[in-house]
A and B are shown apart, each in its own frame.
Chain A
Amino acid sequence: RKEVEQDPGPFNVPEGATVAFNCTYSNSASQSFFWYRQDCRKEPKLLMSVYSSGNEDGRFTAQLNRASQYISLLIRDSKLSDSATYLCAVNRESNYQLIWGAGTKLIIKP
């Protein structure tokens, strides 16, 4: 089993819809979780950190479920500009190195 797993998609979603992704992780001792966005042939950009209590930033909501060992990202009122690959990252136990999922590709259609 991979340390961090994501559905590769693509998710084809109409503009204005709500879409959610999950990311599962195998190491129960992981402490830090992140969602990054990566556009084609570009570097990943931090979208949001995921806190235990969940957090929201505008149209984006991130949640952590420790019992089931997954994090989620919810995008409301999706825009064409949200089309990208969304990567989740989880820290390794007791250090600050991140383990990355392979990414979920999102395509927002007009």
Chain B
Amino acid sequence: GAVVSQHPSRVICKSGTSVKIECRSLDFQATTMFWYRQFPKKSLMLMATSNEGSKATYEQGVEKDKFLINHASLTLSTLTVTSAHPEDSSFYICSARVFLAGGDEQYFGPGTRLTVT
């Protein structure tokens, strides 16, 4: 399957600071990437859809000024959590859309565990 990397895998930061998470497609070009967050024992929650060269589309209830998404190239999308607070602590996962003959599939990065103290 397609390989998606994510960096960092784990980050601890102080309240009020910003954290940047990178999502890269390693062996393919991804015009569309997705950012999710997941709380323990809960489902994946789609935060936004990131399209290369255009503004991200945010889901209802997700603050676009707090979660800045940039998709400047076909292999890289970044999520910046600005002015992080303890309630932003979560598992953040990106995925990339892969076009196949039979239909689209999504492949996930390994996730970033963010802890805000």
Contacts and interface: CB of A to CB of B under 8 A. Distances in A.
Contacts, number: 47
B105 A87 contact: no
A54 to B, nearest CB: 14
Contacts of B1: 46
Interface in B19-78: 32, 34, 42-44, 46, 49
A102 interface: yes
A32 B43 contact: no
A16 interface: no
Interface residues of A, number: 22
A56 B107 CA distance: 20
A34 B98 CA distance: 14
15 contacts: A42-B110, A43-B111, A46-B106, A46-B107, A49-B102, A49-B103, A89-B106, A96-B32, A97-B46, A98-B46, A98-B106, A100-B43, A100-B44, A101-B43, A102-B42
Interface of A: 31-32, 34, 41-46, 49, 51, 87, 89, 91, 96-103
